[in-house]
Amino acid sequence: MPAADPRQHAYARFVVAHALITERIEAALAAADLPSLDWYDVLWVLESAPEGRLRMADIARRAVFSRSNVTRLADRLQKAGLVARADCPQDGRGTMCVITARGRALRARMWAVYRKQIDGLFGAHLSVREAEALSSSLQRMISSLRQDEKETA
Partner DNA sequence: ATAATTTAGTTGCAATTGCAATCATGACGG
Partner DNA sequence: CCGTCATGATTGCAATTGCAACTAAATTAT
Binding site for DNA (CB under 7 A): 26, 30, 38, 55-57, 65-76, 85, 88, 91-95, 153
CB 35, min distance to DNA, A: 9
Q: How many CB atoms lie within 10 A of CB 115?
A: 11
Q: Which is nearer to DNA, 35 or 107 (CB)?
A: 35
Query: What single-letter amino acid sits at 39?
Result: W
Q: Are 34 and 110 in contact (CB under 8 A)?
A: yes
Q: Which does 146 bind (CB under 5 to 8 A by kind): its own copies, DNA, none?
A: its own copies
What residues form DSSP beta bridges with 85? 97
Edge-to-edge strand list for the sheet holding 95-99 = 53-55, 95-99, 83-87
Q: Which does 76 bind (CB under 5 to 8 A by kind): DNA, its own copies, none?
A: DNA
Footprint of its own copies on residues 38-77 (CB under 8 A)? 44, 64
Q: Is 119 in the site for its own copies (CB under 8 A)?
A: yes
Q: CA of 70: how far to CAs of 48, 51, 122, 148, in Å?
A: 17, 19, 27, 22
Q: Is 121 in the site for its own copies (CB under 8 A)?
A: yes
Distance CA 31, CA 35 (A): 10
Q: Which residues bind its own copies (CB under 8 A)?
A: 1-2, 5-11, 13-21, 23-24, 44, 64, 111, 115, 118-119, 121-126, 128, 130-135, 137-142, 144-146
